Amino acid sequence: MNLRVFNQKFLEPGSMTLMILGIIFLCQPWIELLHQYSVTIMLIGLVGFNVAVHIPAPEKKVIDEDETGPVSVSATMHGGTHG
């Protein structure tokens, strides 16, 4: 697994989750420890998200038509028109 795939699967969704959890922890009144560290959790999520959006997405594999054959058999049977 390379960095781009790791970023797309884990880093970006994880950082968004941390930001949301930080907001939830800030608004809840029951557990004081979560309330104390809520801004820190939001900042960690924000920094992680800023890093994640600057990593380019994984390159999509280009499918060569020579390897897969013709695109559609029905298009050649009906003259290639859509009607």
Q: Answer whether residue 60 shows pLDDT above 60.
A: yes
Q: Is residue 67 part of a domain?
A: no
Q: Is residue 17 part of a domain?
A: yes
Q: Is residue 80 part of a domain?
A: no
Contacts of 34 (CB under 8 A, 6+ apart): 25, 28
Q: What is the pLDDT at residue 59?
A: 82
Locate tokens 């003259």: which residue?
Answer: 79
Contacts of 56 (CB under 8 A, 6+ apart): 4
Q: Is residue 68 part of a domain?
A: no
Q: Is residue 63 part of a domain?
A: no
Domain count, the chain: 1
Q: Which domain holds residue 36?
A: 3-56
pTM over 0.85: no
**pLDDT, tens only, 13-52:** 999 999 999 999 999 989 999 999 999 999 999 999 999 9
Q: Is residue 41 part of a domain?
A: yes
**CA-CA distance, 3 to 59, in Å (whole number)?**
12
Q: Is residue 62 part of a domain?
A: no
